[in-house]
Structure 1
Amino acid sequence: MRTAVVTASYANDFERCRLLCESMDLRLKGDWTHYLLVAPYDVALFRQIEGSRRQVVSESDLLPWWLRAIPDPLSAGRRKLWISPYSLPLRGWHAQQLRRLALSRHIGEETMFAVDSDVVLLRDFDPKDLWQDGRLTLYRKDGAIGERMRSNHLEWLAHSDRLLGIGPFSLPANDYINTLIAWRTDTCRALLDHIEALHGRNWIRAVIRSRQFSECLIYGRFVDEVQMGSGHVASAEGLCHVLWFDDSYARDISGLRHFMREMGPRQIGIGVQSFVGHDLADIRNVVLERAA
């Protein structure tokens, strides 16, 4: 099976993405191509890390002309907003999700292996191992979403109800979100086709009617509640040990060492979310310590 490794990134995460690429070139096995999905103004920067198995894709080749980025006037131009006639202004994390979904209509690989730019691979891994008898492993944590979630999961679930024509959801609900997940490319295309048939418009217009959306929940619920699990086998074993919140560990290198010690035996990498404030030099150091 051929694998499209998919990373949506931006300039502020460039050095983290470089570390990801270094670890991927060392640890990732098999037949894969790495697609870096970035905004047009970041293309030149990210071309520095292109290679024989890695290529930069501009969002202008993936998203419609009517969805475009402008400087955010409230940030003195440091951040961007994505504007369109069909939605309230979107943020970068919205655009990154749309890029990942859109890529499915532009590639021939059977597997889409989504890897966030703040992930570092620490163990050897071949993505073909995600397939079992023609079915792809779908990350699903059963009943993990409850009333007291610390993020916007309930809004994301409600959005996927409307988008997919399913539901209403009930709690506890299944969680499909992780920083290392795999999709079937043909299933992702079928998802976009389903949205367009149901809503009678471009799938992006349907998705961005609300800013509260999660592409992982949309894909996972499409597989389980529209396609009834076809072509997939669910697993609660996440491939990535993720540091989601800034109050989980001490915000210094000792906290990172503590976090690293809790990596599971079957996890292949770590993900230190860029917004939790850990210094990239410290992340590099603990990775080097583990390799020594």
Structure 2
Amino acid sequence: MRTAIVTASYSNDFERCRLMCESMDRQLLGDWRHYLLVAEFDVKLFQQLEGSRRQVISERDLLPWWLHPVTDPLSGGRRKLWLSPFGLPLRGWHAQQLRRLALARHIDEPAMFAVDSDVVFLRPFDPASLWQADRLALYRKDGAIDRLMRSNHLEWLAHSDRLLDIGPYTLPANDYINTLIAWRTDTCRKLLEHIEARHGRSWIRAVTRTRAFSECTIYGRFVDEVLGGEGHVPSDAALCHVLWFEDSYRQDLSGLRAFLKDMAPHQIGIGVQSFVGHDLDDIRRAVFELAA
């Protein structure tokens, strides 16, 4: 069963994405195809990474014409904003979420396995193992969201209440956000259809009425609270060991080595978030030391 490996990226993460692709080609088993989803102005850069199993897709083939990027005038030309006549300006990480959701209407693979640019695969893994007969593993950490979380989870929950016509959410709430998670392609299509039927407009217009949204939260709650878990098996096994916060480990090579030692036996890769600040050369060195 072929899996669509899905990475939404951009030029500032290109070298991290290159390392991810190298590790993927070494470690991923089975039948898979990797889709790199990028803005139109990044297509030529990322086409360097294309191969027999890897294809670059421009967001112009996924998103509507009326959502388009412009240079952020407050960033000195370093960042983009995505403008729309129907909502507030969006950042790149918003556009990346929309690309992943939109891809479901353009591919035939039964499963979509999301892989961020900052992931490095360290152990062999066949994405088809995420299936149990005809049910796909859904990452879900039960009761993990409370009022003390250091993120925007409560806003994302409130947004999914309105978007899916469910809720209101109660705390503690389930968390569906992680790196290396799988979606059913047919379920993602059902999700987009559900949103459009509820709101009488394109799903992108409905999702982007606010900038506080999480595609993982939307998908997870749709599966559990609209479909009643249909087609999925919940699992709290995080496949990726993720470094989310600057204060978790020392900001040097020794900190990365300590981080790698804390990788659980069932985890297949690491993710060092780009905003944490670790040097990419240090990440390469720590990874190669572990593999040696």
Which of the five TM-score ranges fits, normalised by the shorter chain? over 0.9
Partner letter of residue 131 of structure 1?
W
Following the alignment from structure 1 to structure 2, what is the Cα–Cα distance between the partners of residues 81 and 247?
29
Following the alignment from structure 1 to structure 2, what is the Cα–Cα distance between the partners of residues 266 and 78?
38
Partner secondary structure for residue 216 of structure 1: helix
- TM superposition shift of 1:273: 0.1
Which whole-Å deviations, capped at 9, do the CAs of 1:264-290 have from their partners, x for residues lacking one? Answer: 000000000000000000000011011
Q: Which residue does the alignment assign to 1:266?
A: 266
Following the alignment from structure 2 to structure 1, what is the Cα–Cα distance between the partners of residues 238 and 76?
39
Partner letter of residue 209 of structure 2?
R
- TM superposition shift of 1:76: 1.5
Which whole-Å deviations, capped at 9, do the CAs of 1:235-259 have from their partners, x for residues lacking one? Answer: 0000000000011100000000010
Following the alignment from structure 1 to structure 2, what is the Cα–Cα distance between the partners of residues 65 and 30?
36
Following the alignment from structure 2 to structure 1, what is the Cα–Cα distance between the partners of residues 30 and 121?
15
Following the alignment from structure 2 to structure 1, what is the Cα–Cα distance between the partners of residues 77 and 255?
33
Partner secondary structure for residue 192 of structure 1: helix
Following the alignment from structure 1 to structure 2, what is the Cα–Cα distance between the partners of residues 19 and 147?
36
Following the alignment from structure 2 to structure 1, what is the Cα–Cα distance between the partners of residues 257 and 46?
30
**Following superposition of structure 1 onto structure 2, how do residues 110-149 of structure 1 map, counting pairs within 5 Å?**
110-149=110-149
Following the alignment from structure 1 to structure 2, what is the Cα–Cα distance between the partners of residues 171 and 57?
39
Which whole-Å deviations, capped at 9, do the CAs of 1:171-224 have from their partners, x for residues lacking one? Answer: 000000011000000000000000000000000000000100000000000000
Q: For the aligned residues, what is the CA RMSD?
A: 0.4
Following the alignment from structure 2 to structure 1, what is the Cα–Cα distance between the partners of residues 38 and 185?
20
Q: Which residue does the alignment assign to 2:186?
A: 186
- TM superposition shift of 1:77: 1.2
User: Identity rate of aligned residues, in percent?
Assistant: 76
The number of residues matched between the two structures is 292
Q: Which residue does the alignment assign to 2:231?
A: 231
Partner letter of residue 273 of structure 1?
Q
Partner letter of residue 283 of structure 1?
I
- TM superposition shift of 1:147: 0.4
Partner secondary structure for residue 48 of structure 1: helix
> Normalization by structure 2: what TM-score?
1.00
Which whole-Å deviations, capped at 9, do the CAs of 1:8-66 have from their partners, x for residues lacking one? Answer: 00000000000000000000011100000000000000000100000000000000000
Following the alignment from structure 2 to structure 1, what is the Cα–Cα distance between the partners of residues 108 and 234?
24
Q: Which residue does the alignment assign to 2:248?
A: 248
Partner letter of residue 177 of structure 2?
I
- TM superposition shift of 1:291: 0.4
Q: Which residue does the alignment assign to 1:35?
A: 35
Which whole-Å deviations, capped at 9, do the CAs of 1:120-159 have from their partners, x for residues lacking one? Answer: 0000000010000210000000000000110000000000
**Following superposition of structure 1 onto structure 2, how do residues 59-138 of structure 1 map, counting pairs within 5 Å?**
59-138=59-138
Partner letter of residue 82 of structure 1?
W
Partner letter of residue 187 of structure 1?
T
Following the alignment from structure 1 to structure 2, what is the Cα–Cα distance between the partners of residues 247 and 39?
32
Residue 57 (structure 1) aligned with residue 57 (structure 2): yes
Following the alignment from structure 1 to structure 2, what is the Cα–Cα distance between the partners of residues 285 and 246?
19
Segments of 5+ residues of structure 2 without an aligned counterpart are none
Q: Which residue does the alignment assign to 2:215?
A: 215
Partner secondary structure for residue 183 of structure 2: strand
> Normalization by structure 1: what TM-score?
1.00
Following the alignment from structure 2 to structure 1, what is the Cα–Cα distance between the partners of residues 85 and 76?
23
Partner letter of residue 17 of structure 1?
C
Partner secondary structure for residue 224 of structure 2: helix
